[in-house]
Structure 1
Amino acid sequence: MGELPEGWASSTLGDLAEYVNGRGFRKAEWSKRGRPIIRIQNLTGSNSVFNYFDGELEGRHAVKAGDLLLSWAATLGVYEWAGPEGALNQHIFKVKPYVDQRFFRYLLQYKLREVQSRTQGSGMVHVTRGEFEAVSVAVPPLAEQHRIVEALEEQLSRLDAGSVLLEEARLRGAVLQKQMTKAVISGRRCTAEEVGDADELLSLVDVQVARMAGKKRWAQVRDPEAIWTHELPSGWRWRTLGSLCVDIQYGTSAKTAPKEKGDDVPVIRMGNIQSGRLDLRDLKYLPAEHLDIEKTLLRDGDLLFNRTNSAELVGKSAVYNEKMGAAVYASYLIRCRFAEGVEPDWVNAVVNSNFGRRYIASVVTQQVGQANVNSAKMALMPIPVPPQAEQRTALKVLRDWEAAQARPQLAARVAMKRSKGLRSAILRSAFSGKLAPQDPGDEPADTLLARIAAEREAAKPARRTKRAAARPRKKAAAPPSEPAPAPTSVPSTAVQQEFDL
């Protein structure tokens, strides 16, 4: 942690706040009225739809406007609840700071990157209460906490205003992208000339699937349910995703680690799928001799489908290209290998379109706060199949449009990255004692921490006494060999003394 500024003291996140975990609400408990159940997607803004709880709720699980919330699974984030009163779902802590709450909110934001860097494995981000509580922090005097908050809010308010404008520009580009993709996969923007129909292609696909997939259940499905289909251009056909695949397989569940040897093999995880593409900047690895390498080694054109994630991200997909180098994939992903004649990028565009997202939302299941789509449900996804030449024409339309949008979108992303860097630098300055001045007249932080510890210790027996008073112990029955004593009148003071004992 280094040398602390004058008046500061060392502590941990656990010593500075109480963390109350939310409750796991069963689907049977959901209602259309009552308190909104606050889930992670309601905090991140990815889903504004609430489920409600209309039953008895413990006070510790009730959330009021102004309460500080911390999501600790899948998405790490700090939020101040704006209301109305809600019910706290699992995988979210309600944080009760013993120091200035605004100061502690910024402190948590500053420490989240350190917390996230400690998480390991090939799957979801998941941080335990113990990991949070053990994080070391530097604590300034209470008066300086107030000065730090004032300085932070002055500087970050301007930065946040600029970030809002950049985010709006990014979202406008994303909306246009979805509109263009919808037009292309529906056949309104990309009809190739003299391409015939898809029947000949699908006959060849069926032969390959029958030879390589055999009697696999997903390979036998042919006709999508009518509810998910709509009229297609002449020559196009509806097929299920599974009937286009010669192989569907889950990834490795082996524990991954940072690269140690030159021949270690990268493992593609759910976080590497970003906006329909693979982002390989953050990778974990397996040793080249690991037994899972051979069966999960990717080939050119393999589509990776994210089967477990938060509700807004489950079902995202991307296509692996052999130019990326040798790689395998993790257990939260499903690999789809297509028959010749099916363009993987075409299927990927359909899966990531609004049409694909609606299908995934209709078949997703919720388990322990996460959304899941298994391979059987994924294999039933309807895919519009044009002739191969028209698939390629459609993909060219999408690539050309994306290229035209690339420069402004790149400029927005670069600016947002710089904004995040500036925010991190400002927070780092604040919590190293360089943003606000020290005042020798401030009460030292170690005095504040001693007072907090004393108050917490004093509160413990009070809670035990309260529980004892709520559930008084029953008198032990007299031994059967002796007659029970006759009832007598006991003064109220004597009763109280017995309870106190």
Structure 2
Amino acid sequence: MSNTELPPGWVAVRLDEISEVRLGRQRSPKNHTGDQMRPYLRAANVGWNGLKLDDVKEMNFTDSEVETYRLLPGDIVLGEASGSPREVGKPGLWSGQIEDCCFQNTLIRVRPAIGVEPRYLLLLLRYEALRGSFAKGARGVGIHHLGAAKLAAWPVLLPPLAEQRRIVEVLEGHLSRLDAAEASIRRSVRRSDHAWASVLNSVARGDLNGRTVHASLRLVSEVADVGGGIQKQQKRRPIKNTFPFLRVANVARGKLDLDEIHQIELFEGELERYRLECGDLLVVEGNGSPDQIGRAAIWRGEIPDAVHQNHLIRVRPNGELLPRYLELIWNSPLVVDQLREVSRSTSGLYTLSTAKVKSVKIPVPSRADQESLVDDADIWETRINAARVVLQGAAARSRLLRNSILDKAFAGALVPQDPEDEPASTLLERIQVERAKGVKRRPTRTPRQRRAAVATAADPCLTPSVITPIPGDAIQQEFEL
């Protein structure tokens, strides 16, 4: 956008024309200890809903290094790199919560010049991060690096200072309401998840919809055939005798994700041995998360002649078990707790085996009662899924509305322009003059310092050193996508 297309009073600038952009100090072994240990922020301390200061590390900073890397109220820190493109450039606003706090080179500090509202710049940089602009401009393979030089040259639209503040006031109001709405949606989604878990438990107990079904506890080995899968090896690189190959990534809890199916080479007799049959239950063998252990989904013959990897265990029910009934009770919290217990290891991983799966006990009612429980559960699932669709639609509309509001805010269409405002071009000239003179931004005083200054002015006999500090400094309220 050229200056002639900008809203009245706005200018297009590079970020480093209106702020100081600096990469943090590298963490090296020699600074792990020392007699000048100081707190510092790293990428893990920056979240989408504000700074996370419950785990702030320390390393040695000399006095001269502190002068370079100290954070001042009003500074913005951004994640310099991430393995996830969405996390690149995620910003947070520093409000002086920790004295003499510095920052590491996993962060880039943006220090706004006098006349640039830090909250405006924070919202603008967050907008760029959320819409993926920083990720597109990042470099690297696997880890996406934004880099201080790239950020310094980032194009920014700057309104007059008074308009910056109007934008912040209106934008924060809109975003806080959207935050509240999205938090309500998330709570409703969690309630739907709890409702479905309750249905699954009722199926396992045999008391869904208020009636009691008698069931006997049976070992899985008594009512199903349990088998392992094929280990992926170099010799199985697909060449000529290839077949569809299901992996752990294809199995979620209660559903399959078949968007990406790999191929594997099979040898004589293996297709007959490993071919999946309609009604097989695919169980995930291991996972670092105890909540995901043993998650399972039924195979309905979606792809002909498919086989599965050795990190999936196949449970093929015999005539006593309905496959859908087995899938429902297997994913119930009652059975998942049992799976978690048998899979626990001393290493912290949770790993199942065919032997462990065979040893699991499950309730087995009559086939007629299984059919009745399945019918009732399917009705509940339809209702719960309908509610989830509504919630997903509401979440999507909220995201669209958020994006629309942000688009308008940073295009000059959210609040009206006031011809009485000092143009941003004048502000930019003043910043350039002050820089030429070597004038740096004065540290923004915290609320505690302002209270001390007021008290000192009211009683000249007092000095800031004898004023009792008042706790509870104001901290910038952040928003979460």
- TM-score in terms of structure 1 length: 0.52
Task: Identify the match of residue 400 of structure 2 among 404, 415, 421.
Answer: 421
> Please, what is the CA RMSD of the aligned residues?
6.2
Q: Which residue of 1 is the match for residue 112 of structure 2? A: 97
Alignment of 1:1-150 (within 5 A): 1=1, 3-13=5-15, 15-17=17-19, 18-21=21-24, 40=44, 43=47, 50-51=54-55, 53=57, 55-57=59-61, 59=66, 68-71=76-79, 73=82, 74=84, 76=87, 77-80=90-93, 84-85=97-98, 91-98=106-113, 99-112=116-129, 113-115=131-133, 118=136, 126-129=144-147, 132-133=151-152, 135-150=154-169
Distance of 1:188 and 1:279 partners within structure 2: 29
Are the aligned partners of 2:72 and 2:94 in contact in 1 as well (CA < 8 Å)? Answer: yes
Structure 2 unaligned spans of 5+: 234-243, 267-274, 318-325, 441-481
Indicate which of 291, 307, 311 corresponds to 1:336: 311
Q: 1:385 aligns with which of 345, 352, 360?
A: 360
CA distance in 1 between counterparts of 2:265 and 2:429 reads 55
1:310-337: CA deviation from partner (whole Å, max 9, x where unpaired): x9999997869789889xxxxxxx9833
Corresponding residue of 1:198: 220
Contact 1:46 1:312 in 2 (8 A): no
- Shift of the 425–159 alpha-carbon distance from structure 1 to 2, 3 Å rule, reads same
The percent identity for this pair of structures is: 23
1:270-325 CA distance string (max 9 Å, x none)? 9x999986789xx9x9xxxxxx95349999977789989xx999999786978988
Using the TM superposition, give the Cα deviation of residue 103 of structure 1 relative to its aligned residue in structure 2, in angstroms: 0.6
C-alpha change, 1:429 and 1:44, in structure 2 (3 Å) is closer
Q: CA deviation at 1:16?
A: 4.5
CA distance in 2, matches of 1:24, 1:399: 55
1:294 aligns to what SS in structure 2?
strand
Shift of 1:428: 0.8
Conserved 8 A contact 2:285-2:313: no
Letter matched to residue 136 of structure 2: R
Relative to structure 1, the CA distance from residue 435 to residue 406 in structure 2 (aligned partners, 3 Å threshold; closer, same or farther) is same
Contact 2:72 2:96 in 1 (8 A): yes
Distance 1:324 1:431, change over 3 A: farther
Partner-residue secondary structure (3-state), 1:196: strand
State the alpha-carbon separation in 2 of the partners of residues 355 and 81 from structure 1: 46
- Pick closer, same or farther for the CA change 1:450–1:42 going to 2, 3 Å: closer
Shift of 1:104: 0.8
CA–CA distance in structure 2, aligned partners of residues 314 and 89 of structure 1: 34
Number of equivalenced pairs: 372
Deviations 1:37-70 (A, max 9, x none): 7664873579989445355356476667765343
Structure 2 SS opposite 1:5: coil
Cα shift at 1:414: 2.2
Give the SS at the match of 1:143.
helix
d(CA) in 1 for partners of 2:14, 2:290: 33
Picking from 280, 286, 294, the partner of 2:263 is 294
Deviation at 1:119, TM superposition (A): 7.7
Name the CA distance, whole Å, in 1 between partners of 2:189 and 2:49.
15
- Residues 1:449 and 1:111: Cα distance change in structure 2 (over 3 Å): same
Kept in 1: contact 2:46–2:91 (CA 8 A): no
CA distance, structure 1, for counterparts of residue 154 and residue 91 of structure 2: 16
Q: Please give the alpha-carbon distance, in whole angstroms, between the structure 1 residues aligned to 2:25 and 2:410.
A: 29
Q: Distance in 2 between matches of 1:388 and 1:409?
A: 29
When normalised by structure 2's length, the TM-score is: 0.53
Give ranges in structure 1 of 5+ residues lacking alignment.
Answer: 210-245, 251-264, 286-291, 327-333, 365-376, 462-501
Distance change (3 Å), C-alpha of 1:133 and 1:417: farther
Deviation at 1:439?
Answer: 3.6
